[in-house]
Structure 1
Amino acid sequence: MIADSQLQEYLLVATDLAHRGGSLAKDLFGKTACSQKSDRSVVTEADKRVQDLIVEDLTRRYPTHGLIAEESTELACSRPRGDADFVWSIDPIDGTRNYASGVSVYCCSVALLYRGTPIVGAIYEPNLDYLFSASSNTPSTLNGQPIIVKHRSFSRETVLAFTIGTYAQRPAYLHHIMDRCTMRNSGSAALQLAMAAAGMIDLTINCTVKLWDIAAGALIVERAGGVVHPIDANNRLIEKSLWPMDLKNYTDALIPLAAGGQPQMSELQLIMESL
């Protein structure tokens, strides 16, 4: 059992690090080199600098905690990974392709998981100065104010944000959903989860995401009254929790999921099952 005071400390640390990381990313915007990783995704020197800032702080505060982070910097690789009870999941810049292209839509995401389940999460979008956060015993907030997901029927007014990687990776059901709602893609899965939690959009489907993309955002959606369901290999929503996850054996497997208010999610499931 984690004491409320300890959980509050972890939340304060996560929000501080997300804010500092996002602020550093903003300061470095347009000023650092970009390269391509083996999976053809991009990484910038800013990603590495932001991640090292966060990892250095966590190393000092919690030397026994594990760490799963997007960028394999020397500092990150020297830390314990997923076999600890407490594991931090970090995405220093979610939306790196936007960032590298000069598009100022990105965020910094920091989460802490306890035995495979997120207990605190923070996402900071520095250009709008939006700080989303939640813990397992406090409601989700945006800049300190409570937020809640939208609860309304699926219609053409529904705004669904998605991430699919490449066009070739798009699931067949997206074509059918496009005729029934308004679709957007911000290029940042973490930010889309946060926006769903705040009711800025109705739903988000993220097909090509990994733990660091979604750990903070999924908790923020759930604590805002929403639901988060994995999507299976047959493109069906699975009505069960993502958590706990086996972090000890997690490398970088994809975690397809959908998130939003329960009414929209139920109707989304019916659409997917009808195909």
Structure 2
Amino acid sequence: MDFFKLAAPKSDEELALVRYAAHIGEAMSEAMRITVKPGVSEAEVAAAITSTCIAMGGFTAEILMGSGPEYIGWGPPAWQYRSQVPRIIQEGDIVLSEIFALYGMYETQHQAAVAVGNIHPELERAALVARECYEIGVGALKEGITFGEVVDAMERPLLEAGGWHVHPLVHSINPYGPIGFGTAPGIELLPQAGRYGNVGRLPNPGRDLILQEGMCFAFEPNCAFGNHLANIGGTVIVGKNEGIELNSNSTQLMRAEY
């Protein structure tokens, strides 16, 4: 953590680049929202997201994405590493993503989620829990407290709701370091997880780190009930009294228009 403590607090000049990266990511998230509709393939959605980034002078290496009425995985879309046709989006789906926007080698992350028409009530409920986690986390992300205190605060709504989660609630960026998975149940609790040999919990490094103004964090609160998962989030900077939000659209469940 010694290198992290030196590198993580950003200067005003560096934060200007982070803010523009977040601006690009906001546009990428909106491109996703307006592209998603029944009959469109995941590949078309990925192309819209990527082209928006490049057109704005940014860079992106990959997109984590999946869709369906009960999508609970996490990673690149399967058609990017298997010889299969990209999935076609349907009414009732939720399309989940993790979008990476970089500018001047500074990164922001965006957990864009789009509901396609009427989705399952448990998806709506999960999105509300994730949003509550996000709001609490923004309020807690201030100088002088520990990263562990932020994680504990963020996961409280998830624990109270009795949900589980598939990936960290929050982690640092620019550079990577502390990871806040928390104590809430993970994907290991699902019956189908027993068919896999290495499905375990994610680590929680950096809990004792004392936050400083200008540190960058990717907020990615996620909540699932059964097979219904929702995630939201964006990039937040450590502030003097609370976190400084750089995004607005991907920090709540977005709705497809068609």
Q: RCO greater where, 1 or 2, for CA within 8 Å and sep 6 or more?
A: 2
Which structure is higher in strand share? 1
- TM bin (shorter chain): 0.3 to 0.5
Q: TM-score, normalised by structure 1?
A: 0.35
Q: TM-score, normalised by structure 2?
A: 0.37
